[in-house]
Amino acid sequence: MTTRCMGLNAVIYGLGSHEAGWRMPESNPLASTDLDYWIDIAQRAEAGGFDALFLGDVLALQQSADRHLSDAMDPIVILSALAAVTKRIGLIGTASTSFDHPYHLARRFASLDHISRGRAGWNIVTSSNGLEAQNFGWDVMPEHDQRYARAADVTEAALALWGSWDDDARVADKEAGRYLDQAKVRTVDYEGPFVRTRGPLNVPRSPKGRPLLAQAGSSEAGRNFAARYADLVFTVQSSLPEAQEFYADMKARALRLGRSPESLRIFPGIVPIAAATHEEAEARLTQMNSFMVIEHVLAKLSEFLGTDLSGADLDDHLPNHVGTGAPNQSSQSRVAVIVGIARRDQLTLRQLLMRLASGRGHLLAVGTGPAIAATMREWFEAGAADGFNVMAPVMPHDLQSFIEFVMPHLEAADSSRPESKLSKAAL
C-alpha cells in the first residue's frame, strides 16, 4: 500500500499574497524585477523541503496599479533562470490558453522540462481579466464556458505535440551521420474547434514525457476540465467541510473519466502567518493590514463582485443582494467563496476587505508552527487535501517563517518531506 505524502508548493506572485506586502518595513518594493530576489526564494524553498515553486501571472497592468504592485515578468523566463540554480524543486509556471498558440506553449514547457531535468509544470489558466483581452486585441473576454472550451482544445493540441516524439527518436549516430529516426517523429495534424497545428514539435520528448499539468478553476466547467486533464488542482477553500466536498467531488469526477483518483492531487491554498507565539502572529497580520489602502481594496472587491460598494458602511455586513445575481463571467467560483466567507463568519465589510487583502479567500492560518501544522495535517487526514499551495503573505519573510516554525512539525509526521520531488507520481 502506497503511503500518502503531503505535497507543498510555494506560491509566488510579486512580493507575496498580501495586497500591501510591498509596504512592509522589511520589503524591497522593487525586488520583483531583481533576479537575486527570485533565486533567494527558490533556494530557500528548496532547502526548506518544498516540492515546487508555483508562479502566478496576469497579462495586464491591473487597475489601480498606482496603489499596489501589479507589474509581473514572464514566469517561464524566471523559471528558466531558476532551473540553473536549483536541483530538486519543481518549477510550475502559469500560461494562458486564451492568448497563446499550443505550439508555443508546448515548446516552451518542453524546453523548461529539458533544462530543469524533468521539473517543469504548466498551470493552465483561461484568463478572465478584461484588461488582458484588450492587450490582445479583443474588446471583451469570451464567456466563461467558451474560455474553457478553448482551454480544452489548446491542451489537447499541446498533448498531441508532446507526444509527437518517441523517447528514443534521437539516434545521434556520428559515424553514420544519422541524427533522428524519422519513423519515431510524427506530424500530429491536430484540428480542433479553436486551434490547428501540424507538428511535430521541434523539441525532443522531455524527461517525464510531458510537464505536470496544474489547474485552478473550481466552477462546474473548471472542475470538469481539471478532472480530465490536471495532475494538480489548486483550489480556494476556507473551511474543512467545503474542502472535503470539493476533494470528494473531484476524485469522483476523475474516477468517472477512467482515471485513478490518486492521479489527481488536490492542493488548497493556505496563507500562513507563523510566529513563536500566537500573539506575535496576530500582531504581524495587524501590521500588514495597517498598510492596506482601503479605497483600493474596496474598489477591487466591487469590481470582483460586480457591485458598487463605494457608498457602503464598512462596519456593516455585506449587502444581502450581493452574490445573488447572474454568475460573474470573470471568476464564478471565487465570487462564491468570498461571499460565502462573509456570510459564514458574519464579517463586516471592513473585516472582509482585510481577508481579501490577506489571501483573496484562501485559508488564513495565523498562529504558532505547531498550530498551523496541526490544521494542515487535519485537512490532509480528513480527506480535504493532498497537499497545500503555501501563499506566504510577504516574501521572503513569511516563507522563511513557515520553514522555521511550521516545517519541523510537518516533517515529524512525514520523514520523507525533505527528499520529495516533483513528478506526476509524487504530486
Per-residue confidence band for 424, with pLDDT thresholds at 50, 70 and 90: very low
What's the predicted TM-score (pTM) here? 0.90
CATH number of 7-419: 3.20.20.30
Helix (H) or strand (E) holding 273, with range, is strand 265-275
135 has a pLDDT exceeding 70: yes
Domain chopping of the chain, boundaries: 7-419
**Cross-strand pairs, 10:** 53, 390
The span from the CA of 351 to the CA of 364, in Å, is: 13
3-state DSSP call for residue 64? coil
403 has a pLDDT exceeding 70: yes
Output the nine-digit C-alpha cell for 12: 509566488
Handedness of CA 67, 275, 268, 338 (dihedral sign): negative
Per-residue confidence band for 336, with pLDDT thresholds at 50, 70 and 90: confident
Output the nine-digit C-alpha cell for 212: 505536470
Output the nine-digit C-alpha cell for 11: 506560491
233 has a pLDDT exceeding 50: yes
Residue 333 or 257, more confident: 257
Residue 427 has a pLDDT of: 40
**Cross-strand pairs, 132:** none
Mean model confidence pLDDT for the chain: 90
Can you tell me which residue has the cell 520529495? Answer: 420
Residue 365 or 412, more confident: 365
326 has a pLDDT exceeding 90: no
**Distances from the Cα of 333 to the Cα of 114, 144, 217, angstroms:** 35, 11, 7
pLDDT tens digit string along 83-125? 999 999 999 999 999 999 999 999 999 999 999 999 999 999 9
Residue 18 has a pLDDT of: 92
Residue 416 has a pLDDT of: 46
Residue 31 or 306, more confident: 31
279 has a pLDDT exceeding 60: yes
Residue 345 has a pLDDT of: 77
